[in-house]
Amino acid sequence: MQCRVINIDMNPLFKAMQPKKKRPVDPNAPPRPNLLSHEKVLKDTKLTLEQLQQENQQLKARLDSLESKIRNQNNYLSYLHQFISKTQK
Protein backbone atom coordinates (compact mmCIF):
# COMPACT_ATOMS: atom_id res chain seq x y z
CA MET A 1 0.00 0.00 0.00
CA GLN A 2 1.32 3.37 -1.00
CA CYS A 3 1.10 6.36 1.25
CA ARG A 4 0.52 9.73 -0.36
CA VAL A 5 1.97 12.78 1.24
CA ILE A 6 -0.38 15.77 1.32
CA ASN A 7 1.34 19.09 1.01
CA ILE A 8 -0.75 21.49 3.11
CA ASP A 9 0.86 24.59 1.62
CA MET A 10 -0.12 23.72 -1.93
CA ASN A 11 -3.71 22.59 -1.40
CA PRO A 12 -6.17 25.55 -1.73
CA LEU A 13 -8.71 23.90 0.61
CA PHE A 14 -6.28 23.93 3.47
CA LYS A 15 -5.30 27.51 2.67
CA ALA A 16 -8.93 28.61 2.94
CA MET A 17 -9.26 27.00 6.36
CA GLN A 18 -6.22 28.73 7.82
CA PRO A 19 -6.91 31.89 9.80
CA LYS A 20 -5.97 35.08 8.02
CA LYS A 21 -3.22 37.22 9.41
CA LYS A 22 -4.41 40.49 10.89
CA ARG A 23 -3.02 43.72 9.58
CA PRO A 24 -1.32 46.03 12.02
CA VAL A 25 -3.65 48.81 13.20
CA ASP A 26 -2.52 52.41 12.90
CA PRO A 27 -3.48 54.18 16.16
CA ASN A 28 -3.46 57.58 14.41
CA ALA A 29 -5.86 56.51 11.67
CA PRO A 30 -9.37 58.01 11.67
CA PRO A 31 -12.24 55.67 12.51
CA ARG A 32 -13.55 53.64 9.63
CA PRO A 33 -16.80 54.93 8.13
CA ASN A 34 -19.98 52.95 8.44
CA LEU A 35 -23.24 53.11 6.54
CA LEU A 36 -25.15 54.78 9.37
CA SER A 37 -22.83 57.77 9.39
CA HIS A 38 -23.14 58.03 5.60
CA GLU A 39 -26.92 57.96 5.91
CA LYS A 40 -26.79 60.73 8.50
CA VAL A 41 -24.54 62.84 6.28
CA LEU A 42 -26.87 62.30 3.31
CA LYS A 43 -29.93 63.17 5.41
CA ASP A 44 -28.28 66.33 6.74
CA THR A 45 -27.18 67.32 3.23
CA LYS A 46 -30.68 66.76 1.88
CA LEU A 47 -32.21 68.83 4.69
CA THR A 48 -29.72 71.65 4.11
CA LEU A 49 -30.43 71.57 0.38
CA GLU A 50 -34.19 71.78 0.97
CA GLN A 51 -33.71 74.73 3.35
CA LEU A 52 -31.52 76.52 0.80
CA GLN A 53 -34.08 75.92 -1.95
CA GLN A 54 -36.85 77.35 0.24
CA GLU A 55 -34.72 80.39 1.12
CA ASN A 56 -33.86 80.83 -2.55
CA GLN A 57 -37.56 80.85 -3.48
CA GLN A 58 -38.32 83.42 -0.77
CA LEU A 59 -35.47 85.65 -1.94
CA LYS A 60 -36.63 85.34 -5.56
CA ALA A 61 -40.17 86.38 -4.58
CA ARG A 62 -38.78 89.34 -2.62
CA LEU A 63 -36.56 90.35 -5.53
CA ASP A 64 -39.52 90.21 -7.91
CA SER A 65 -41.60 92.41 -5.61
CA LEU A 66 -38.75 94.94 -5.19
CA GLU A 67 -38.17 95.05 -8.96
CA SER A 68 -41.88 95.71 -9.47
CA LYS A 69 -41.79 98.44 -6.83
CA ILE A 70 -38.80 100.22 -8.40
CA ARG A 71 -40.36 99.91 -11.85
CA ASN A 72 -43.53 101.61 -10.55
CA GLN A 73 -41.49 104.35 -8.86
CA ASN A 74 -39.52 104.99 -12.06
CA ASN A 75 -42.74 105.21 -14.06
CA TYR A 76 -44.19 107.63 -11.51
CA LEU A 77 -41.05 109.81 -11.56
CA SER A 78 -41.00 109.94 -15.33
CA TYR A 79 -44.67 110.97 -15.29
CA LEU A 80 -43.87 113.73 -12.76
CA HIS A 81 -40.99 115.00 -14.91
CA GLN A 82 -43.25 115.12 -17.94
CA PHE A 83 -46.00 116.86 -15.98
CA ILE A 84 -43.59 119.46 -14.54
CA SER A 85 -42.01 120.13 -17.92
CA LYS A 86 -45.47 120.64 -19.47
CA THR A 87 -46.63 123.00 -16.71
CA GLN A 88 -43.49 125.16 -16.97
CA LYS A 89 -44.05 125.89 -20.65
pLDDT in tens, the chain (89 residues): 565 655 555 566 666 677 778 888 888 888 777 778 888 889 999 999 999 999 999 999 999 999 999 999 999 999 999 999 999 87
Q: Which residues have C-beta within 8 Å of that of residue 9, sequence separation ≥ 6? A: 15
Q: Which residues have C-beta within 8 Å of that of residue 38, sequence separation ≥ 6? A: none
Report pLDDT for 65: 98
Return d(Cα 55, Cα 49) in angstroms, integer.
10
Report pLDDT for 20: 77
Report pLDDT for 25: 82
